[in-house]
Structures are given as C-alpha cells and as structure tokens.
Amino acid sequence: MRTEVAIVGAGPAGLLLSHLLARAGVESVVVESRSQEYVASRIRAGILEHSSVELLTEAGLGDRLRAEGHEHRGVYLQWPHKRHHLDFVDLAGRSVWVYGQTEVQKDLVAAHSGPVLYEVSDTRLHDLTTDRPYVTFRDRDGAAVKLEASVIAGCDGSFGPSRAAVPASARQVFERTYPYSWLGILADVAPSTDELIYAWHPDGFALHSMRSETVSRLYLQVPNGTDAAAWSDAQVWDELAKRLGHGQDGWTLAPGPITDKSVLPMRSFVQTPMRYGRLFLAGDAAHIVPPTGAKGLNLAIADVALLSRALIALVKERDAGPADRYSDDALRRVWRCTHFSWWMTTMLHASGDPFDAELQLSQLRWVTTSIAGATGLAENYAGLPI
C-alpha cells in the first residue's frame, strides 16, 4: 500500500489530522491497534478550549458540539468555607465548552471518509530518516502489510510504537510523577453546579465536572495504587460531599447511580523534538499532562492544527519550512500547558505537608482576589490562540 501520510493511531489526534489533510486533498491511511468500539468508548476529559472549538467548527465538526455541548463562562475555585467564581469571558475574553472527548471522537468517526484500519498488530516504523519511510503491521486477519508513505504521523499515544521509534540518542525526555492519583466517577445524576468546581481540601482535591444535564463526572484525589473497586459508591459520595462543601451556604451535592469508577494516574511527560526525520509526533505520543485543567485533548488538537498545515505545505507545495518549524512551534504551547497543568495540580492537591498547604491557600487567595492572578489562570485555562 502507498499513501502520502501514514497515520499511526485513530484517536482524536490521528482522525482529526486525517480529516484536515483530506479537506486539503492530501491522502492518508490511518492504522489503529484497538477496535473502533474501544477507541470510541474510552472515557476522557470533557473541556474544550475556545481555540479547540473554533478549530473543530472551521473543520466542519462543530454542529453537534454547539447543539449538545455547553458553553461555560468560567469555573469555581474553592477551599473550606470559600467558593469563588472566575469568569474567563470577563477576564480573558474567551469561554470554554463542556463536551466529552468521547463525543469529539464520535463526530470524527462520523465525518471521516478515508481508510482506517482497526485492530492491526505488530506495528513497526522503518527508514524514518530516508525519504521513503514505511510502516509494517498485520491487519485484523493477520496478513502482513507494508504501508509506504512520504511522511509518518505518530498519533498513537504514550504506549504506541511511534514515540519509541525515535532512537534514544535523538531524543530528550522530561518527566515528573506525582504522589497521588484521581478516582473518577460517571454518575446518572444532574450536576449539582452550573459550572465546574475545583476544590482544595486538607483531605485531598475534589472536582465536580459534568457531561450533560443528566450525567455528572466527579473526581477525588486518592493515593497512588488505589483500587477503584475498594471504594463503595456510598464512600465515594460521602467523600465528595465533604470535600466539595455539601451543606455550606445552602449548597448540596446530589448523589446518584455511579455507572463507571476508575483510577487515573497523574504524570507530566515531554519528549523532544517532536520530529525525527520523516516521523512527526502529535498529542500524547509526544507529551502527557496530569488531568487538572483538562489540557490533554486541547493540546493534541493544537498539535494537529500545526501539523496539518505543515504537512499540506510539504506535500502539496514542496515547502518544507512549516514542517521544519513544527517541533519548535508546537513545543512552545506544549511547555505552556505542561506548566499550567503542573501548576494547577500542585496548587490544588494535598501533599500532607503543612507548609505546602499554606502556600496553596495563599496562591488560591491570590488567583481569586487579584485581577492579575485571575487573568493568568483564565488565559491559560480558556487557552491561548493556536
């Protein structure tokens, strides 16, 4: 098989890239190790930055998002006995949208027209520093396939073969682990809040998010190594009620049937550069952020916006300039979001150290009472222009 762009991974980064390339008349083939059902049902974050919404809309993917998603002006930041609303529209002129990554994925699958080969195995990348790179794999029936391309896009997340195909001598890895995880639940209950609540609490962080008028998504900081099954539904709701301030100033948390319960690890990771010869990395294949602030999908969308333009210039106009600048350009936003996600995480999670706790409370008072502090958070949360 031969194509212009071989895309490894059919998550949001891979499918969006293929979609943007197709709109410019550039052919691609997408290969994916999982099944279409598996990829579409993975639960991920649900906040889209202003510029992600703009890009999806320009790409013809905004109809259901605008009809079924919810525009939020800001978020609540709270700690015991205090809840503050930060209005991103007033502070930074931009809103955010609540629309699950699962829904973005469904919209991408519905809009996508080119070939996507699901359930492939043994995917390997070859000859990346030549002008004839190729991917080999076994298709779902076990037949060996060689896919030749002009360039390869690695959109296959942190466990895929693309990142690992860059030799150790040609990459630098930056990493930070955190001494806590999140227990996340989905529940069939109307959200108890109009906009998201990020709650600092001495017993650990809690977040009240949502997916729709009838589905809530909530998270609790838990120790690393926690088994989700060890938490009963009643325990989860009790802990959420305590940390989110049930009963304070007349606010109540409505519990409901939990339909999913899982533990999310927290990690910061960046691999540079985001290019090796004819291989370009985008999304989680190049970087991971901890979930606080919901940057993962937004960063993948921003990478793909840049990469699609670079590959269109390369393939259609034989202009290598944007492709040569891709890694540096993408990494500026990656590091901004890596810092923001690390900062939100370390500001909001209990470490057990009373010195940390006082610094966190001081920081929270500053971002909720100083226009400068609040604007910095708002600009980063609602997202910088792509």
Question: Which residues sit at the interface with ligand DHB, rule CB under 6 A?
Answer: 45-47, 196, 207, 209, 217, 291-294
Asked about 291 being catalytic, the answer comes back as yes
Active-site choice (19, 208, 295, 349): 295
- Give whichever of 133 and 293 is closer to ligand DHB, judged by the CB atom: 293
Q: Is 276 a catalytic residue?
A: no
Q: Which residue has the tokens 């076994």?
A: 138
Select the residue whose beta carbon is closest to ligand DHB and give its number: 209
For residue 108, give every residue at least 6 positions away whose Cβ sits within 8 Å of its Cβ, in sequence order, or none.
Answer: 12, 15, 16, 19, 61
Indicate which residue of 99, 180, 276, 381 is catalytic.
381
Residues 304 and 17: beta-carbon distance below 8 Å: yes
Q: Quick one: 45 or 331, whose CB is closer to ligand DHB? A: 45
Q: Among 72, 201, 287, 349, which one carries the catalytic annotation?
A: 72
Phi then psi for 340, rounded to 5 degrees? -60, -45
Q: Is 198 a catalytic residue?
A: yes
In this structure, which amino acid lies at residue 176?
Answer: R
User: How many helices (H) and strands (E) would you count in the chain?
Assistant: 12, 22
Residue of 76, 134, 198, 276 marked active site: 198
Q: In terms of C-beta density within 10 A (0-12 exposed, 13-18 middle, 19 or more buried), how is residue 40 classed?
A: middle
Q: How far is the CB of 87 from ligand DHB (least distance, A)?
A: 17
326: annotated active-site residue: no
The Cα–Cα gap between 294 and 317 comes to: 36
Active-site residue, 146 included: no
State the Cα–Cα distance between residues 108 and 300, nearest whole angstrom: 14
Task: Name the 3-class secondary structure at 12.
Answer: helix
Residue closer to ligand DHB by CB (options 166, 337) is: 337
**Which is closer to ligand DHB, CB of 297 or CB of 311?**
297
Q: Which residue has the tokens 């792509």?
A: 386
> Out of 12, 161, 291, 322, which one is annotated catalytic?
291
Least distance CB 280 / ligand DHB (angstroms): 26
Place of tokens 């949502």: 210
Nearer residue to ligand DHB within complex by CB, 160 or 184: 184
Q: How far is the CB of 51 from ligand DHB (least distance, A)?
A: 17
Minimal distance, residue 39 CB to ligand DHB, in Å:
17
Choice between 83 and 278, CB closer to ligand DHB = 83
Q: What is the spatial distance between Cα 364 and Cα 374, in angstroms, rounded to a whole number?
A: 10
CA 149 to centroid of chain Cα atoms: 28
Smallest distance from the beta carbon of 297 to ligand DHB, in angstroms?
Answer: 10
Residue 258 DSSP class? E
Minimum CB distance to ligand DHB, residue 34 (Å):
21
Residues labelled as active-site residues: 72, 198, 291, 295, 381
